[in-house]
Structure 1
Amino acid sequence: MDSGCYKNYSGDACSRGKSEQTFEIDEVGNLSWELDDVYYSMPSISKDACKEECLRDCICEVALYQNEECKKLKLPLTYGRREPNQATTFVKIGAGAGAGAGAGAGAGASGPVFIVGISSLALGSILVLVSCGFFVLVFRHHRVGKKWILNLESSDNRFDEDVALRSFTYEELKIASHGFTEEIGRGSCGTVFKGVINGSRNVAIKRLEKVVTEGQKEFKNEMRVIGKTHHKNLVQLLGYCHEGGNMLLIYEHMSNGSLADFLFKARSKTDWEGRIEIALDIARGILYLHQECQTQIIHCDIKPENILIDDKGCAKIADFGLAKLLMSEQTKTYTGIRGTRGYVAPEWWHQNSLITAKVDVYSYGIMLLEIVCCRRSIDMNAPENEVVLAYWVYDCFMARELEELVKDEQVQGKMLERMVKVGLWCIQDDPTLRPSMNKVVQMLEGTIDIPLPPCRPTTSFTASSFTSSSLPASK
């Protein structure tokens, strides 16, 4: 590969499934690549499964495998170089009669073509021409933006270049989940089942319920938006199925349950340092949805049940991007009340109020106070002055008795105060007073000062409006 290489098969042959075109994977060691070229990552996968994933993905040209993680790269590949102790590199190559077509081989050619004895002058000329051609292709690529439209009704495991999500058939998911028998969660979006794909990879299969869309195009548009999101604090969407009335989403499997389990069901509290990291993880994930991904996503249902924990203790946001697929009033705009009681921002209850990303900031603020205190925002069994968490936290803050919130737990006083102040700012009734998630992250990280919260929060409900049955159910 030091002397350069070319693609010896055509993309059409792969995408159209031509029978004369076959492919092989060549394993190369000690190669490093520019990670900006990675378009899809798959954690917790075997080396053989990584090779197979690239082999059947028409977009994948190179796959990198290291530490049980598979990263797929597509054209144009940049900055490949030899370095010791790098990830295993799988390179897709064409084989058989169809391979030569993309490489400029003659009609009767069969077998490899060897070029011997190229003069320095000729080699230099070729390099100049190749460089010019490369820049022209890159320019055209960005101008034209070639797209492959995925046929959702097809049983082929083809990919949408724009989305990089796999389309599953309903039968495939039925087999993968053993007939949807192992239920691992249930919530407002639907029921979640455990499944296995690629022979060994555990996944979570969510069967959407109460879904109202304008059909296949609307569903695919929402999948396109979700498919473009990639962040370490978001649960990764791997694929989907849309056949008739069946709409299912396939996510990476999160083995450690939800934040609700950690905060409210664990026999012992999650340690303080761990809770700080979880709070920051969630804030960074919401910031990405609001400001850093290509299309802004308002989650509309931030709560502990929608925060999942991976096997390394990292918090990831689930069910993002589904607001427009759920409830008939929301197929195009956020007009109907969306969310879970206790985490819903006050503006949801005012007719004709503008719903913005600040509704997620409010929900995050309520959840941040729950993370600090390891209890629900409403606890009818608590002493009267502690029933509504937001009121109690504010009163303790003004009385300079924040230690009451964590009882005998050893915590960092300054960090405790910082988290409480951020939480109180986030749950202000006036959305314009709430900080953006960018400011929330900066305040939690300590890079900017936090002024005193302006007033006591009122919360969306009074304590008397809550019963144990109205609290959100675990997924």
Structure 2
Amino acid sequence: MSYDSQENRILSLEISLKDIMLATENFSVNCFGSGRYWKAYEGKLPNASTTIVAKRWDSKSDDQFGTELDILFKRKHKNIIRLVGYCSERNENIIVYEHMSKGSLDKYLKDSKLKWMKRLQICIDVASALDFLHGENVTLKKVVHRNIKSHSILLNDDWDAKISNFELSSLDSSHQNIKYINKDAYLDPQYNQGSLTEKSDIYSFGVILFEILCGRLTWEEGHEAGPLAKHYYEQAKLDEMVFADIKEQIVPQSLTTFVDIAYECLHEDADKRPKAGDVVIQLKKALEIQEDFEIWEPKLPRDYKEIMGLSQIPEIYHTKQKKDIYEKLSGGILLPKEKVMAHENNKNQKKVQQVHQSYSDLEKLLTVNEKMYIRELNGKKHLMLSATEVVFQNVTELLPQQVFRIKYKIETELLSPFTEYTCYLVFKVSKKCQGLHCPVKVRNLLHRKNKGNQIIYFRTPSHLNHHDDFWVPEQRKDGWMEVMIWKFNSKYNNNLGKDVIPMNLKLVTYEGTMSGLIICGLEFRPT
């Protein structure tokens, strides 16, 4: 950006003192916070609907005002407080910021509503902002904040965290005036060496990490949280300091990952402290572990370990996260033909007779048993992929998902040559199932260029929803239901070999789920 364009932009951010005084009622009400050099007030600017914060600096803080304004004007990041405007008029220096409705983090350390996962995300937000500030590029120097503390971290309605209070920041690590630095429990012990670096910010952040974990400010109860947490960590007793209201929420591995990186941040040797980017990585890892337990494990079938054990390569799932296992199940897993399982939306374990195919949660991979029945029908071969050789003892609740995939290869010698065939899905609907009334789209994944979808139903639709092009179910004499899902010709040409016909269908419902659907098998009949 050229000098002229920067000059024009900063001029465009000027707000008149009159408007600010109107917004804050002449700085008489709604004091939002205060610091050594300023007081902040909430208000609404004339002709504006959103609330702002006006930070009014005292008469002897021109340098601090200029430092903060310069940093915020040139640096934009989602986790750094956003500059709205400024005023430098009639000996008044004021910076106007976005309003962070929840205020500063220090107010919520003891709040039981602030759960562990949200605390982790706040930590990630702050670490991400520090990583941005400590970065250096062609146009911007790195910034050392030098005043990182819970009071400087602001929260909005969604608990998004943003760093504020840049008045003591430095853009030059080699030439610093530490005269005005707050010598408190957040301060790097090496400050007496004459300067504070980005690793000093990391130390301060390490103190905040333990504050968030322990639910207390660093100077409370007569002990500084940083040194005390280090002592408990080294004695393997840190769990005694964890905030009681969140202790039961935390997965042990998430806690270990968190405290390990927090401890490294407090290393006496600044050179051995991690970079902000490394802290981000470890905090995200702690969050992923926690999410795995809170979000992804409940989505899995209760018998997912058994399903994984039946896989052809079960050992590859032993170290996978629950999210990975969920996605693997969603994509389908190949089970040995002797160990196929069926799942129904029924919490009571029971035996289901002649259910052939495997389906457990989202996108299903249907494997074919070697036992098939072939008979003649009007001189043409009739093929039924049956499951009479397989008995299923394990029936559990089917996750309420929307996609069902059918994929296999069929040998052409089992079919009559040059014959049109219709493929029927043979199924039942659980007696307890209240759904499956909505249309289901069938997409042939082998013909992706053809964007047309066939519409089928698992329950007979009302006459208002019926259309001649829709395929609807019919009752069979054997007690099962059937519905057409595919048509093909046995002379089908493909690249997989002349003796094989591939099938790859994807059934999707966009209203409700397919929970309660019991699959018997597939039947191919000459058209």
TM-score tier, shorter chain, comes to 0.5 to 0.7
Whole-Å separation in 2 of the counterparts to 1:343 and 1:229: 24
1:405: which partner in 2?
241
2:332: which partner in 1?
none
Whole-Å separation in 1 of the counterparts to 2:230 and 2:252: 16
Following superposition, the deviation at residue 250 of structure 1 comes to: 0.1
Q: Does 1:357 align with 2:205?
A: no
1:226: which partner in 2?
72
1:366: which partner in 2?
207
Q: 2:57 aligns with which of 208, 230, 254?
A: 208
1:194: which partner in 2?
42
Q: Does 1:170 align with 2:6?
A: no
Q: Which runs of 5+ in 2 are unaligned?
A: 287-527
After superposition, the Cα gap between the structure-2 partners of 1:192 and 1:219, relative to the gap in structure 1 and judged at 3 Å, is closer
The letter of the residue matching 1:275 is: R
User: Given the two structures, how large is their TM-score scaled by the length of structure 1?
Assistant: 0.53
Following superposition, the deviation at residue 421 of structure 1 comes to: 1.6
Contact 1:259 1:309 in 2 (8 A): yes
2:441: which partner in 1?
none
Contact 1:366 1:390 in 2 (8 A): yes
1:151-300 matches, within 5 Å, as 160-161=8-9, 163=10, 166-182=13-29, 183-197=31-45, 198-209=47-58, 211-213=60-62, 223-264=69-110, 266=111, 268=112, 270-291=114-135, 294-300=140-146
Following superposition, the deviation at residue 165 of structure 1 comes to: 5.6
Q: Does 1:392 align with 2:239?
A: no
Contact 2:13 2:84 in 1 (8 A): yes
Q: Deviations over 1:327-361 (max 9, x none)?
A: xxx9x7333251351111112234xx232111111
The letter of the residue matching 1:284 is: S
Partner SS state of residue 231, structure 1: coil
Contact 1:165 1:227 in 2 (8 A): no
Whole-Å separation in 2 of the counterparts to 1:307 and 1:431: 23
Following superposition, the deviation at residue 278 of structure 1 comes to: 0.7
The letter of the residue matching 1:195 is: G
Contact 2:67 2:169 in 1 (8 A): no
Q: Deviations over 1:18-47 (max 9, x none)?
A: xxxxxxxxxxxxxxxxxxxxxxxxxxxxxx
Q: 1:375 aligns with which of 216, 227, 239?
A: 216
Q: Does 1:416 align with 2:255?
A: yes
Q: 2:273 aligns with which of 434, 445, 460?
A: 434
Whole-Å separation in 1 of the counterparts to 2:280 and 2:197: 18
Whole-Å separation in 2 of the counterparts to 1:269 and 1:378: 23
Following superposition, the deviation at residue 365 of structure 1 comes to: 0.6
1:314: which partner in 2?
160
The letter of the residue matching 1:345 is: D
Following superposition, the deviation at residue 212 of structure 1 comes to: 3.9
The letter of the residue matching 1:196 is: K
After superposition, the Cα gap between the structure-2 partners of 1:389 and 1:207, relative to the gap in structure 1 and judged at 3 Å, is same
Whole-Å separation in 2 of the counterparts to 1:233 and 1:409: 29
Whole-Å separation in 2 of the counterparts to 1:391 and 1:220: 35
1:71-86 matches, within 5 Å, as none
Whole-Å separation in 1 of the counterparts to 2:76 and 2:11: 11
Contact 1:239 1:251 in 2 (8 A): yes
Partner SS state of residue 103, structure 2: coil
Q: Deviations over 1:380-415 (max 9, x none)?
A: 36xxxxx34334323332333333222443202112
The letter of the residue matching 1:344 is: L
Following superposition, the deviation at residue 185 of structure 1 comes to: 1.2
Q: Deviations over 1:226-245 (max 9, x none)?
A: 21211111110111111242
Whole-Å separation in 1 of the counterparts to 2:156 and 2:11: 23
Whole-Å separation in 2 of the counterparts to 1:251 and 1:380: 34
Partner SS state of residue 182, structure 2: coil
Whole-Å separation in 2 of the counterparts to 1:256 and 1:232: 17
Contact 2:153 2:162 in 1 (8 A): yes
Partner SS state of residue 229, structure 2: helix
2:400: which partner in 1?
none
Following superposition, the deviation at residue 428 of structure 1 comes to: 1.8
Q: 1:345 aligns with which of 184, 188, 201?
A: 188
Following superposition, the deviation at residue 225 of structure 1 comes to: 3.4
Partner SS state of residue 206, structure 1: strand
Whole-Å separation in 2 of the counterparts to 1:220 and 1:305: 21
Following superposition, the deviation at residue 219 of structure 1 comes to: 6.2
1:12-161 matches, within 5 Å, as 145=2, 147-148=4-5, 150=7, 160-161=8-9
Larger strand proportion, structure 1 or 2? 2
After superposition, the Cα gap between the structure-2 partners of 1:193 and 1:375, relative to the gap in structure 1 and judged at 3 Å, is same
Whole-Å separation in 1 of the counterparts to 2:11 and 2:254: 40
After superposition, the Cα gap between the structure-2 partners of 1:397 and 1:223, relative to the gap in structure 1 and judged at 3 Å, is closer
Contact 2:168 2:180 in 1 (8 A): no
Whole-Å separation in 2 of the counterparts to 1:291 and 1:400: 34
Q: Which runs of 5+ in 1 are unaligned?
A: 1-141, 151-159, 382-386, 448-475
Q: Deviations over 1:269-309 (max 9, x none)?
A: 52111111111111001111111672322111111111111
Task: Work out the percentage of aligned pairs sharing the same amino acid.
Answer: 28
Contact 2:133 2:144 in 1 (8 A): yes
User: Given the two structures, how large is their TM-score scaled by the length of structure 2?
Assistant: 0.48
Partner SS state of residue 440, structure 1: helix
Whole-Å separation in 2 of the counterparts to 1:210 and 1:361: 32
CA RMSD of aligned residues (A): 2.8
Partner SS state of residue 167, structure 1: coil
Partner SS state of residue 147, structure 1: helix
Whole-Å separation in 1 of the counterparts to 2:40 and 2:74: 22
After superposition, the Cα gap between the structure-2 partners of 1:333 and 1:210, relative to the gap in structure 1 and judged at 3 Å, is farther
Partner SS state of residue 220, structure 2: coil
Whole-Å separation in 1 of the counterparts to 2:230 and 2:6: 53
Partner SS state of residue 221, structure 2: coil
The letter of the residue matching 2:20 is: L
Following superposition, the deviation at residue 247 of structure 1 comes to: 0.7
Contact 1:269 1:374 in 2 (8 A): no
Following superposition, the deviation at residue 444 of structure 1 comes to: 2.0
Larger helix proportion, structure 1 or 2? 1
